[in-house]
């Protein structure tokens, strides 16, 4: 069997590659150690950088909200573990924010290469990637930002909530749910797959047409 590391951005719907990693909370096996839970894995370009620091503080302040959704946070960069430890200590001391989640020390770049985090023109630093992985270890959502732009952590939280409700209720979520300009907090009923159902849809559903109906949760 080849030991070559598969590189490139994975696809939504693929299983998260199995990796054993060193973190600030000890060795972790991802996604195996998080079976039965949602996992939010996010990368940052480097420790002791201003934009990354603001993101870590935002993730930390929302950590309890993620936990309420049965989700665990895991950070990642190519820095060594001692750098991570010192940085999270600095954040707690200077910004009065404790970082409650583990941070992967991917100093050999194995995880970064497997998940397509190394992009042209950025050297060995990782882009700002986010992976939402479901309790079965399947990648359900990916977001990639350049180094120059910080993420909005509330959007990651919103996307996680939307995925969970979509799975449970078998519905689709409109733009900016639950604050859509047209539907507010209502959700979209999947379109019919046959003529008979299409003809019946508007008789018992609220909407604009048979292919565009919605309901309250």
Catalytic residues: 52
Which residues, 6+ apart, have CB-to-CB distance to 141 below 8 Å?
12, 130, 131, 132, 159, 163
- Pairing mode, strands 212-215 and 206-209: antiparallel
Please give the DSSP secondary-structure letter assigned to residue 24.
T
**Residue 72, class by beta-carbon neighbours within 10 Å (0-12 exposed, 13-18 middle, 19+ buried)?**
middle
Rounded CA gap, 12 and 103, in Å? 23
The answer to whether residues 78 and 110 touch, using CB atoms and an 8 Å cutoff, is no
Q: What are phi and psi of 91, to 5 degrees?
A: -60, -40
Rounded Cα distance, 1 and 92, in Å = 45
């Amino acid at each position: 069997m080849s030991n070559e590391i598969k590189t490139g951005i994975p696809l939504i719907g693929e299983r998260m590659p199995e990796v054993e990693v060193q973190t600030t909370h000890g060795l972790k096996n991802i996604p195996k150690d998080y079976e039965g839970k949602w996992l939010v894995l996010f990368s940052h370009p480097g420790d002791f950088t201003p934009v990354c620091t603001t993101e870590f503080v935002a993730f930390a302040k929302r950590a309890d909200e993620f936990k309420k959704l049965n989700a665990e946070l895991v950070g990642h960069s190519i820095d060594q573990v001692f750098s991570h430890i010192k940085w999270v200590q600095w954040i707690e001391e200077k910004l009065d924010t404790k970082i409650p989640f583990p941070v992967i020390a991917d100093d050999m770049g194995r995880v970064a290469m497997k998940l397509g985090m190394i992009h042209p023109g950025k050297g060995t630093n990782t882009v700002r990637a986010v992976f939402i992985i479901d309790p079965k270890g399947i990648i359900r959502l990916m977001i990639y930002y350049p180094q120059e732009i910080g993420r909005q952590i509330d959007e990651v939280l919103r996307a996680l909530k939307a995925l969970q409700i979509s799975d449970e209720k078998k519905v689709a979520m409109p733009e900016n749910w639950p604050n859509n300009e047209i539907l507010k907090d209502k959700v979209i009923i999947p379109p019919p797959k046959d003529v008979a159902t299409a003809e019946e849809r508007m008789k018992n559903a609220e909407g604009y047409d048979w292919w565009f109906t919605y309901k309250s949760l």
